[in-house]
Structure 1
Amino acid sequence: MGTGHPADVLQRALAGAGVRGGEVIVPSYGTLEVAEAVRQAGGVPVFADIDADTFCVDPAAVEAAVTARTQAVVPVHQFGHRADMVRIGRLAERRGLFVAEHEVQRTSSVETAMRQANAAYLIQRLTDVVTPRVHPGAGHTFLQFVVRVPGNGRPDRDAFARTLRARGVRCRVPVQTPVHRMPLFRRDVWLPETERAADECLALPVDAGMTRRELQRVVSACNALGGLLQPA
């Protein structure tokens, strides 16, 4: 879509597509900047639910959100996992919608390869959290390594995070509040996968410069906190 800050590029693309006054379908699970770019372009953000595995907007939820006023859809490549552009592209072609892909950040090929190697190490060794799932052919650059801690709700995830930090492991909640619950964009809509991800998800360190010892520290700290997961 061009160069510049991703949100500015997105706003220009939507404005150029003439979305003023029309609805633009976006995910609520993610950053505020996507909905804000839609608003700045003169559009009305409509929030769709996410896919439980990828955290990207669910094509089925996008289709369900389409109305006569829908003009565009913004698939966000969440945490480095690509959205399902094939299904979204087919839907957009069928319904005459403009598609504006959005990626929050990009990394060099070398950094991406190192992150992917670190992520593979963590996925293989972590046992008491739900590790990222990559859909076949989608690709994942692991800008963030987001796991689920699906105990009995948010307190378990937050207690897990506090204990990790006390043991020297950097971690953060990637999305504290879905955008559809923020005052500026509050909508009376139920997005179950979005709400569940907001309660369960935690981003663990996967930086390209991490050493094997640092990765092992993450694994040891997480695996020592077993017992928070519900039975399969």
Structure 2
Amino acid sequence: MIHLLLVDDHPTLRHGLRALLDTQLDLEVIAEAGGLDDAVAALTAATGEGRAPGVALVDLDLGADAPDGIATLVELVRHAPGLRVIVFSAYDSDADVVRAMEAGAAGYLVKDSAPEQLFRAVRAAAAGQPAFAAPIAARLHDRGRFDEETLTARELEVLTLAATGLSNRELALELLLSEATVKTHLHHAFTKLDASNRQAAIAIALKRGIIRL
């Protein structure tokens, strides 16, 4: 079962999205929020109940007087590093998409996406895969940004620590993961950066400013 957190400042839209997602047997919306503070509180409460969300759908525009979706994304991932955040917005300008990617978004969808596309994106994000709408992914590939910018928050964390010289075993102990999981995150990072090994991936990431020491 994939547990979801919804963050949107329009209650009617949240409720409609919740009803749509809850039609899928493997998807369950367990919390919703209208902004950053409520989202963090909902995430903390759900985690305390043993039902930590695996995926969050976060609107980019959360109101003129509130922190935006990017700030909310960053804060949610800080509280739950394993959380996969998909930005779900009415807008898909390159600037907005790149901002979301640079903040560690696992995906980006526009609100007029077909339900099946939304379901696929949520499942892809939960499986650790990029979850970008096809037109957005195509534009980013054309601009040469997609692969290097879509490292997940966890992949960035693992690669950054690897750059300090930690072994896979030490990374696993530091992050409370299995060595197999660490290797999987590193392999995904190598593939996205078109690197053949750890040293090459670290060098590429440092050169492009994807990670910093």
Which TM-score applies when normalising by structure 2? 0.27
* Structure that is richer in helix per residue: 2
From the CA coordinates, give the structure whose radius of gyration is larger. 1
